Amino acid sequence: MDEQELQQFLLYLGSALTAAGEAVNQIEEHLVKVAAAYGAPHARVSVLPTYVVVSLEPGRPATLEPTRQLRGGLRLDQTAAVYDVLRVAERGEVTPRDGSEQVLAAVNMPPRFSAVVRTAGHAVLIGGICLILAPTWGDVLLAVLFGVVVGLMRLFGGRWASAQMIMPVIAAFTVSAATFVLAGTGWADADLRAMVAPLVTFLPGAMLTMGVVELSAYEMVTGSSRLVAGALQLLLLAFGIIGAAHVVGVPTPAAADHVPNTIGWWAPWLGPLVVGVGNYLLLAGPPRSLGWLLLVLYAGWISQYLGNLVLGGYLSGFVGALVLTIVAYEVERVPGGPPALVSFLPGFWLLVPGALTLIGMTEYLGQDTVRGAEDLIGATASMVSVALGVLCGHPLFRAVSRVGEKAVSR
């Protein structure tokens, strides 16, 4: 077997898994297992935020592959295709050359849905997030309209890397300024629920949580890098909101009181269903994966709700993330089930208090610094709780699986 082809295959596969959002400690385990399947049991792998390093033997030359050539994050259908390659590679059932070609084909795969459908999916997703925040009908309508606008901005801005960097500021400024103008004319209330929901796809919930998971696994460089990048994105969003408030001359969102939920008690329970459909359309979910995605989302949401009733707000995130992770990995074992990463990454938008963190940033940078600091501390504690739930969920699933397999073999 050509060692150079194997090394290139491992580099491409590691880069694709990094772009999919997998934790680096998990990526390293996968690549070592693949290398062993192809006769390189002593391979050394190091995964960092911007590149992957692979050496097939101790003391042998190492090869580096920048992850940026894979063009950033992957959609759900691309992630599923990459994991299909990973599964056969862990069994040594594909040649390294063919595996590299399949990984590149997955990365360059065109979206399953048209631009119109994906923009509509963004609006549906935003409507679902707004429902979870217990809104009024006016909040939902305004959030969906903003969801269409932000979806179009992401669609056109995604073509240029430079535009992607400033997109959170532009989107936050546009949505906030429009909300404040409407509030000034009496057409709508400047409600944080209507403003935060359209910006939810910019919230780095998965990034922040994976950062904590990686730090817990002693992956200091990658974990701290994710946390810094996630915190910067939150600051950019908050800066856009505060900038809009000052430009249009309207009090900051911290001064606006929430109007009670006028839709009904069922609104937050309908939210995960709408979020799941929106995610499926926006991120081009794999065929026949919508039902599994909804199962995982509701498992996490219901567990978090019950955890809040029994244990309180901070520990509810831990319970929700623990159950969501276990269910996602269990779904992965079912024939035809999507990879765990496909089904539980959208769940972070339900569990990670990204919206609360953004509100806290806004209040802290605005007028109410005391309230903002309290929100930030609470959101940080909840984020750590969710990260610990994910961190404990995978080992617990593997332990239960091993016990079940031993019981069956007997």
pLDDT band of 9, cuts 50, 70, 90 = very high
Predicted local distance difference test score (pLDDT) of residue 209: 75
pLDDT tens-digit readout, 148-200: 998 888 887 766 766 677 888 898 899 888 887 876 666 655 466 677 778 77
pLDDT band of 406, cuts 50, 70, 90 = low
DSSP state of 174: H
- What is the rounded CA–CA span in Å between residue 39 and residue 152? 48
Please tell me the pTM assigned to this model.
0.82
Predicted local distance difference test score (pLDDT) of residue 78: 92
Residue 106 or residue 406, greater confidence = 106
Predicted local distance difference test score (pLDDT) of residue 204: 74
pLDDT tens-digit readout, 264-273: 788 888 989 9
Predicted local distance difference test score (pLDDT) of residue 268: 85
User: What tokens were used for 304?
Assistant: 């978090």
Residue 308 or residue 406, greater confidence = 308
Predicted local distance difference test score (pLDDT) of residue 354: 44
Q: Is the dihedral of CA 326, 332, 336, 338 positive or negative?
A: positive
Predicted local distance difference test score (pLDDT) of residue 135: 75
Helices H / strands E in the chain, number of each = 17, 3
- Contact between 361 and 234 under an 8 Å Cβ cutoff? The reply is yes
Average pLDDT along the chain: 80
14 to 26, 147, 211: CA distances (angstroms): 10, 33, 18
- What is the rounded CA–CA span in Å between residue 157 and residue 161? 8
pLDDT band of 68, cuts 50, 70, 90 = low
- Contact between 91 and 34 under an 8 Å Cβ cutoff? The reply is no
Predicted local distance difference test score (pLDDT) of residue 94: 92
Q: Which of 51, 18, 14 is nearest to 32 (CA)?
A: 14
Lowest mean pLDDT among 67-76, 146-155, 254-263, 387-396: 254-263
Amino acid identity of residue 246, one-letter, is H
- What is the rounded CA–CA span in Å between residue 66 and residue 139? 43
Residue 28 or residue 139, greater confidence = 28
Residue 144 has pLDDT above 50, yes or no: yes
293 to 22, 42, 171: CA distances (angstroms): 17, 37, 28
Lowest mean pLDDT among 102-111, 122-131, 226-235, 307-316: 307-316
Predicted local distance difference test score (pLDDT) of residue 252: 45
CB atoms within 10 A of CB 57: 12
